[in-house]
Chain A
Amino acid sequence: MKKVFVVFLLLASLVMGSVLFAQVTQIPREEAVYVAGFQWGPPTTDNPLAGSPMTFVSDPRQHIWIYETLFTWDALNGKYVPILGESYKWLDELRLEVKVNPKAYFHDGEPVTADDVVYSYKLGQKYPLGLQIWEWLEDVYKVDDHTVIFEMKPDNPNRLMVEDAIGATFILPEHIWSKVEAENNYDLTKIRQFRNENPVGSGPYKVFYESPETIILERVDNYWGNEALHGGKKPAAKYIVHPIFKSNDEGSLAFENGEVDVSQQFTPRIWEMWEEKGLPVGTWYDEIPYYMPGQMPSLWFNVNKYPLSLPEVRKAIAYSVNYARISELAMSNYSPKVQASLIMPYGGEAKYFNENLVKQYGWEYNPKEAIRILEEDLGATKGKDGIYVLPDGTRLGPFTVECPYGWTDWNASLQIVAQSARAVGIDIQTSFPDAPIAYDNRQTGNFDMTMWSPSQPGPAQPWLRFQIALYSKGVPEVGQIAYSNFGRYKNEWADQLIDMIPKVTDEKELKNLYTELDQLYREDIPMFPLMYRPQTFYQYNETYWTGWANAENPYAPPMPLVGAGMEMLWHLEPVK
């Protein structure tokens, strides 16, 4: 038996040895800001061209720590904040001029020039990278070292998406990436596989350490923006640490214990942390709805499936839903009252919101009205089982409504939808398959009703939301993959209006067009919002760091050290 134990000890120490592979010193807590909620699996690559959804540095709209974009969007005022781009203006109908900040340089000291900007955008022309801008662009070219012109195709211009794109693309150093391209024979599949383990960007942080459990970024002390954008001040935090939690609960617990300073995870009943537990925790607002709304998770109908093809049936369902209950039970009251509109009554797009029309023609929770529509407008009669039957004998249900398993707030919302509908006499069942199956069903149109959020705040809103919800051109038939208009709604007038808007600059005309489009949407209701959700959740714990932005001190939008919320890095102060 002794031998067995010796062997066991030997094996155990061998295994331990290979696990403890890296020698990293402890990060001093008072020098590090801990963030959570952006990454749920191991870091896989630092290559921004890999397009992997798991990549920590992959989303230029948010993670501008290492690589930077020209601008970043501030949803509070609907304006761009300059980063590498100093300013932008439309020269004429087709040409957008962007000035690059002449003070900007990469970590290796090379200046950021117009060439780098042109190079970065042209990568999307060369390779299928998911950079959509080339649908509308004819060319990107430099005028001088710090001026770039984006020229649109005369036959397919789109101001809104081009403006969107100048805030959504990382500017990469050409002197490094052209080598990477050449080494990989200009083959995208090979370029995507390149790990880029030591990314050289122009941002305020660089990669310090990565493991399947943690990602640590280290401050770049000679970051160009400290002088050029922040009055010579450095961020106080030497490190940004992102522990990778396995579950929401684990992350929330760490946040509550002060192990995480700022988080974008959904945390139920956040107010209890300060009201009952007296913790130094804060959110954007210190009362309902606590967070600033940013997106609209919605219920989408398959509008070609009878009887869901009848707008009256869709409207009856919209009237039946108890929105307040969804907000209260599924969303911890984080959603203000949902309105019958595709325009968000908050942030930059609120100026297009037509309150009178929404009140007059919109729906809200009203079971009696739902029943009236069913009985009077559709002539349906209630069957013995309490479910309505249309005059032609079609029973209203069972319909299924679907979203990925484990998205707890969404799952709860759909359960409330199903209960609400059954209460007025429409049979809706919930179905929560694993994400790939739910995605596949949604994209191929294999559903009765599904749940999805149309898009994020940005300069192209609310146009982009209308586009994603209503636009039929280029959307393939049921059975083939679509990435928008999942229910395959078709309306020529809507298509025309959507085509028209990106060319219009007159605000008054824009407002009219949006009003018309929104009204058309309300008549046909191919999908409807169930809640308003923040763009990213934002809650901070002031145990170690203070100076966070909030509604009383709104110097930056509520984003946890990402996007335009990066500004907070220069305002944070250690508590000690």
Chain B
Amino acid sequence: MKGFTKYFFQKLFWYLLAFFLALFLNFFLPRLIPGDPISVIVSKMMSGTVASETQERVYQSFMEEFGLDKPLPIQFFNYIGNVFRGDLGTSFSLYPLSVNEVLGNAIVWTIFLQFPAIIVGWILGNLLGAAAAYRKGVFDKTIFPVALFVNSIPYYALAIILLYFFGVYLGWFPIGGGYSRTLLPSWSWTFAIDVLHHYFLPFISIVLVTIGGQAIGMREMSIYELNTDYVTYSKMLGIKDKKIQSYVFKNAVLPQITGLAISLGTMVGGALITEIVFGYPGVGTWLFNGIRQLDYPMIQGSTLIIALMVLVANFILDMVYGLIDPRIKAVQTEEG
């Protein structure tokens, strides 16, 4: 276990370094966008008024409140300090709401949409891929090209096509939002059905893309496994097809789990386009609004969440592989 401890701390060191780099970029990149966010706030407050000292005083009071009157390095250390206290700051564009509050609400929607969709897409994709590899014939000849086709359409195009066809043209589904704006949230069937009604199109769009990608990968892995010696040997022993299928599936699905972990890690960031196209009230929508409104704390907050999710997912994956993958284990003992 000495080898693993060393491996753990080595990895941890690199991940922490990456995290600090992300913090640094989160802070400086939004500030490279041209424009003065405070003058936007003040100009909305003061539009239609005459030139005067009052405007200058209002401007200064907001600069002080947001700490933008201080030099950049000091702003940066304040930001780092606040992040470690769990405070992502006050949003500029949604003043005086805190970024914690806005993103805290939004992430629920994002996970509610993405998590089930990725899981369902992953399961269906792998089953289909395995089936295509095993059954071959017509099944393979239809599934494989369809999967390839769905997978190669740019996601935003697919989302817009779905939205246009089912939302606008057929009018079966609403064209945006998490639930009808004329409805009040409540523990009722009306509301639950309404939420699901709004949920369907974005959900299906993610499922479709995930299925496509997973099916292709799974098909290839399964074909590879089907040509291995143990399969031939099992067939010679007369083991039932069902049994062999399950061996093949178990072996082929291992690398797919890596893919699952990564998609779950990038889930929040990956939600951006889905949420924008379907007007879904998640983190991606706020990130996009934040960028357009020069809302530094909002941009910093959402990119931080995305970076954290990706890093944590990868770190867990590394740890799991460190424990189970004999090749990595070998490296650990050599070094140890």
Contacts and interface: CB of A to CB of B under 8 A. Distances in A.
Interface string B135-170: 000000000000000000000000000000000000
Given A435-B292, A467-B50, A481 B59 contact: yes
A469 to B, nearest CB: 11
A440 B34 contact: yes
Interface string A174-210: 0000000000000011001101000000000000010
Interface string A158-183: 00010000000000000000000000
Contacts of A135: 50, 52-54
Contact of B179 (A8, A131, A132, A213): A213
B50 A22 contact: no
Nearest to B190: A26
Most chain B beta carbons < 10 A, residue from A1, A134, A436? A436
A214 B184 CA distance: 8
Interface size range of chain B in the complex: 35 or more
Nearest to B52: A135
A12 interface: yes
A42 interface: yes
A22 B40 contact: no
Interface in A14-41: 15-16, 18-27, 34, 41
Contacts of A127: 61
Contact of A54 (B43, B55, B95): B95
Interface stretch (B104-112, B306-314, B322-330): B104-112
B302 to A, nearest CB: 16
A20 B48 contact: no
Nearest to B177: A246
A52 interface: yes
A468 B54 CA distance: 15
Interface stretch (B16-24, B77-85, B115-123): B115-123
B191 interface: yes
Contacts of B34: 437, 440
B39 A468 contact: no
Contact of B96 (A25, A131, A192): A192
A344 to B, nearest CB: 14
A45 B95 CA distance: 8
A329 B86 CA distance: 51
B192 A24 contact: no
Contacts of A455: 47-48
Contacts of B185: 19-22, 24, 211
Contacts of B123: 1, 4
Given A16-B112, A481-B59, A474 B181 contact: no
Interface string B49-87: 111111101111100110000000000000000000000
A474 B293 CA distance: 28
Contacts of A26: 183-184, 186, 190
Contacts of A12: 112, 116
Contact of B95 (A52, A435, A474): A52
Interface in B4-45: 33-37, 39-45
Contact of A128 (B60, B120, B191, B281): B60
A275 B33 CA distance: 47
Most chain A beta carbons < 10 A, residue from B44, B51, B90, B289? B51
A475 interface: yes
A263 to B, nearest CB: 13
A192 B192 CA distance: 37
Interface size range of chain A in the complex: 35 or more
B54 A161 contact: no
B37 A475 contact: no
B108 A22 contact: no
Interface string A240-266: 010111110010001000010000000
A483 B51 contact: yes
A482 B54 contact: no
A44 B94 contact: yes
Interface string B270-294: 0000000001010000000100111
A15 B111 contact: yes
Contacts of A24: 184-186
Question: What is the predominant secondary structure among interface residues of chain B facing chain A?
Answer: helix
Nearest to B48: A455
B47 A189 contact: no
Contacts of B175: 250
Contacts of A15: 108, 111-112, 115
A394 B93 CA distance: 42
A216 B279 CA distance: 22
A188 to B, nearest CB: 6
A436 B96 contact: no
A254 B36 contact: no
B195 interface: yes
A210 B222 CA distance: 53
Most chain A beta carbons < 10 A, residue from B34, B47, B96, B120? B96
A483 B47 contact: yes
Contact of A22 (B179, B186, B279): B186
A316 B187 CA distance: 64
A420 interface: no
Contacts of B217: none
A243 B52 contact: no
B182 to A, nearest CB: 5
Given A54-B94, A129-B58, A474-B51, 7 more contacts: A128-B57, A132-B50, A250-B279, A254-B181, A436-B37, A436-B293, A444-B36
22 contacts: A11-B115, A15-B111, A19-B108, A19-B185, A20-B185, A20-B187, A41-B289, A42-B97, A44-B94, A44-B96, A129-B58, A130-B45, A209-B184, A214-B182, A241-B182, A250-B177, A254-B182, A436-B292, A439-B39, A444-B36, A468-B50, A481-B36
The 7 residue pairs across chains A and B that have the minimum distance between CB atoms: A243-B181, A128-B57, A53-B44, A455-B48, A474-B51, A436-B35, A436-B294
